[in-house]
Amino acid sequence: PPVVYSRCVDDSLREVVKKLRERTNMYKERAIDPYATSPEISPPVSKWTPVMFCQLVISKFPSFPSFQSNTQYRRYIAWLTVVSVAFNYNIWFTPVRLVFPIHTPVTIPFWIIVDIIVDIVNVIDVVLWQPRLQFVKGGDIIKERSLTNIIPFDLLGVLFGFSAVFRLNRLLRIESFFEFSDRLESIMAKAYIWRVGRTTGYLLFMLHLNACFYYMASEYLGINSSKWVYNGQGTAYLRCYYFAVRSLINIGGLPEPGSVFEICFQMTNFFVGVFVFSSLIGQMRDVIGAATQGQTYFRASMDGCVAYMNMFYIPDLVQNRVRTWYNYTWDAQGMLDESELLETMPLVMRTAIGVDINFATFDKIALFQGCDKQMLVDMLLRLKSIIYLPGDFVVKKGDIGKEMYIIKGGEVQVVGGPDNSIVFVTLKAGCVFGEISLLQSAKDGGNRRTANVKAHGFVNLFVLDKKDLVEILVHYPNSQKVLAKKGRKLMKAKGPAAAKAEEDKKKGLALFGPKPPTPKLARVFGGFGKGGFLEKLKVQFSNSILFFSHNRFIWQKATYTIEISDRGSCFSPTFLQAAQAKENTGNK
C-alpha cells in the first residue's frame, strides 16, 4: 500500500482528482452530443414541414414585433377601429336587411358599394395586417389568420338574387371587435367610459335584434292581421324598435297577444328582458361602481378614521391635520398607498414602473454617483412614498437615523437655532437628506441626526429604510465603499462640528471666525492669557518665509512682523498685501 504521510493532504488530492475526472467526462459527453448537457438549446429539426416553409415565407416580410413601439401600437389600434366599424356595419345592418323590405332597386346599388368598401377593409386586414401580427399566446408567438370570414359568398347573389344572407360569414369577424375593445381599454386613461359605452351598445343591439324578430313575426302572422302585430303604419323599423323597448324593458302598455304564437313570443320577450337585460344593467352598475371604487374607498377610509378620532376625543387640531393629509394625498396621487398597487404586480413590472418613473431622478443624485446602476434599481424597488404637511418635522436633530429621504415633490428646510428660526438650506425635488446619520455607524453616536429638517409646504418624499439599504449594499461591495467614503466626507462637512459653526455664524456669534489654536511657539511658553508666560509675542523677520495661504504654499522674501497673541497670529498688513499680489501673479 502507498505510504500516506498526511491523511488530510491525501484526502484533498483525491478529491481534486475526482473532480477533474468528472469534468473530463462532462466535456467528453458534450463533445459527442452537444444537446445532452445543454438543454437550453433545442436540436435543429432536419425535415422541412409545410408550416416551416410558410413561416419562412412570412418571415421575409416585415412584421410587428409584439408592439414594442408605442406608435406602432397606436397605429394598430387606429386600424382596428376601421375594422371594427366594418364589423359593426355588418352586424347591425345584416339582420335589418334580412327582415325589413329595404332592398329596393333604388337602394341596392348603394348597399353594393358600401358592402364592397367594407369587404376591402376586411380583406386588407386578413391578408396584409393579420399575417404580420405577432400575438403572444400561452408563451408562444403565433400568427393568426382566418380566411373563412372573407369568402365572397355574395357572388351567389348573381344566381339566387341579391340578399344579405350571403354576408352572414362576415359576422365571424367578431374577434376583431373584441380585439379592438381590449386594445382600446389598455390605452385609455379612463377605460370605464368605453366600457359603459360598449355595454350601452349591447343593450341597444338586443333591442335592435328584437325589433327585427318582431317584424319577422308580424310578417309571418300577416301585417295588421291582429292588434298585437305591427300594423304597417309609419316607419316600420322605428315602430318595431319602440315595441321592443316597451317589451324587453317590461314597461308594459302593450297590446295583449291573442294567438298561441303571439303569447309565446311575448313571453320569450319578457324572459329575455328579465334575464338578459337585468344582467346587462347589472354589468353597467358594476362598470360604474368599478370606476368610482377608488373614490368610495377613500371616503370610507377617511370616514372610518374621523369616527375613530372622535371616539377617542382627539383634539380638533390633530383631526384637521389628518383630514388635510387625506385630502392632499388623494388629490396628489389618486390613492392613499401606492405600494398597495405595486405589491400585487410581478417584480419585472414593478421594476419597469419604478425605473420609468424615478430612475432619471435617482441617476442625477450626487450621493449615488459612482454607484452600481443595478443597485439604484434595487433601491427604487424598496422606496416607499410618504406625504408630509406644511411645518411637519421630517427629521429631528439628535434622533437615531433609520431612514433617508429623497424629495419627490415640494421643498424641505434644514433648520436650527433657537425656535428653529434659522434656515440653513432649502432642499428641492431630487435632493437627498437624512443620509449623514444613515451612512455612519452607531459608534460614537454617528448615527444621530445632525440637523432638523422641516417640510416647507406639502412635500412628497421617498423613504429608504436603513435595513433595506444595508440589505442591498451586501450585494454591491464597491458601491458600499463609495457610499461609506461619501458618508465620512458629509459628516466632516455637515456633521455636528460643522453644523455648530454654521449655526454660530448664522447667529452672528462668530463674527471673526472661530478662535484659532494657540501657536506652537507660544505654547512652549505656557500659552497666552492669565496663567501663561506671554502676553503677546512679536517677532520680526528679515528673511524668506514659506507660508500657507488660500490652500497654497507661498515663498516670500521680505521683512515682516508676526504678532502672536491670545487672539491668534497675524501678519503685518503690508506683508499680506505683498503675498496677495504674488499669489495673483500665479507665482506659487
Ligand X SMILES: Nc1nc2c(ncn2[C@@H]2O[C@@H]3COP(=O)(O)O[C@H]3[C@H]2O)c(=O)[nH]1
Q: What angle do CA 45, 49, 53 make, to 5 degrees?
A: 105
Nearer to ligand X, 96 or 469 (CB): 469
Among 80, 86, 217, 499, binds ligand X (CB under 6 A): 499
Q: Give min distance, CB of 325 to ligand X, in A.
A: 23
**Coil vs helix vs strand at 46:** coil
Q: Give min distance, CB of 373 to ligand X, in A.
A: 23
Query: CA-CA distance, 33 to 42, in Å (whole number)?
Result: 12
Strands (E) located in 194-321 = none
Nearer to ligand X, 266 or 437 (CB): 437
Q: What angle do CA 474, 476, 481 make, to 5 degrees?
A: 95
Say which amino acid occupies 487: G
Q: Give min distance, CB of 508 to ligand X, in A.
A: 18
Q: What is the CA radius of gyration of the chain?
A: 42
Query: CA-CA distance, 232 to 75, in Å (whole number)?
Result: 47
Nearer to ligand X, 179 or 435 (CB): 435
Number of residues that bind ligand X (CB under 6 A): 17
Nearer to ligand X, 456 or 494 (CB): 494
HEC string for 93-155: HHHHHHHCCCCCCCCHHHHHHHHHHHHHHHHHHHHHHHHHCCEEECCEEECCCCCHHHCCHHH
Q: Name which of 335, 243, 260 is nearest 295 in CA terms.
A: 335
Nearer to ligand X, 209 or 406 (CB): 406
327 neighbors 306 (Cβ within 8 angstroms)? no
Nearer to ligand X, 149 or 437 (CB): 437
Q: Give min distance, CB of 514 to ligand X, in A.
A: 17
Q: Give min distance, CB of 369 to ligand X, in A.
A: 16
Nearer to ligand X, 115 or 435 (CB): 435
Nearer to ligand X, 247 or 450 (CB): 450
Q: Give min distance, CB of 499 to ligand X, in A.
A: 4
Query: CA-CA distance, 143 to 133, in Å (whole number)?
Result: 6
Q: Give min distance, CB of 394 to ligand X, in A.
A: 9
Backbone dihedral region of 169: left (phi > 0), alpha (psi from -120 to 50 degrees) or beta?
alpha
Among 257, 273, 354, 401, binds ligand X (CB under 6 A): 401
- Interface with ligand X in residues 182-211 (CB under 6 A): none
Query: CA-CA distance, 227 to 222, in Å (whole number)?
Result: 11
Say which amino acid occupies 508: G
Nearer to ligand X, 430 or 568 (CB): 430
Q: Give min distance, CB of 446 to ligand X, in A.
A: 10
429 neighbors 410 (Cβ within 8 angstroms)? yes
Query: From residue 341 to residue 380, what is the string marking binding to ligand X with x (rule CB under 6 A)?
Result: ----------------------------------------
The backbone torsions φ and ψ at residue 399, rounded to the nearest 5 degrees and listed phi first, read -70, 160
Nearer to ligand X, 136 or 470 (CB): 470
Query: CA-CA distance, 226 to 265, in Å (whole number)?
Result: 14
**Coil vs helix vs strand at 71:** helix
244 neighbors 211 (Cβ within 8 angstroms)? yes
Q: What angle do CA 40, 41, 42 make, to 5 degrees?
A: 115
Q: Give min distance, CB of 416 to ligand X, in A.
A: 8
Query: From residue 277 to residue 316, what is the string marking binding to ligand X with x (rule CB under 6 A)?
Result: ----------------------------------------
Nearer to ligand X, 272 or 484 (CB): 484
Query: CA-CA distance, 257 to 228, in Å (whole number)?
Result: 5
- Interface with ligand X in residues 70-129 (CB under 6 A): none
By CB neighbour count within 10 A (0-12 exposed, 13-18 middle, 19+ buried), where does 483 fall? buried
DSSP-assigned states of every residue in 147-211: -GGG--GGGGHHHH---GGGGGGGGGGHHHHHHHHHHHHHH-TTHHHHHHHHHHHHHHHHHHHHH
CA trace torsion 570, 572, 574, 580 (10° rounding) = -20
Among 96, 211, 375, 395, binds ligand X (CB under 6 A): 395
Nearer to ligand X, 323 or 382 (CB): 382
Residue 414 as a binder of ligand X (CB under 6 A): the answer is yes
Query: From residue 240 to residue 269, what is the string marking binding to ligand X with x (rule CB under 6 A)?
Result: ------------------------------
Q: Give min distance, CB of 506 to ligand X, in A.
A: 11
Query: CA-CA distance, 393 to 412, in Å (whole number)?
Result: 9
**Coil vs helix vs strand at 17:** helix
- Interface with ligand X in residues 416-455 (CB under 6 A): 424-425, 433-438, 449-451, 453
- Interface with ligand X in residues 456-495 (CB under 6 A): 494
Query: CA-CA distance, 200 to 190, in Å (whole number)?
Result: 17
Q: Give min distance, CB of 437 to ligand X, in A.
A: 3
Q: Give min distance, CB of 424 to ligand X, in A.
A: 5
Nearer to ligand X, 195 or 486 (CB): 486
Residue 413 as a binder of ligand X (CB under 6 A): the answer is no
Q: Give min distance, CB of 362 to ligand X, in A.
A: 16
Query: Which grid coordinates belong to 273?
Result: 328582458
Point out which residues bind ligand X (CB under 6 A): 395, 401, 414, 424-425, 433-438, 449-451, 453, 494, 499
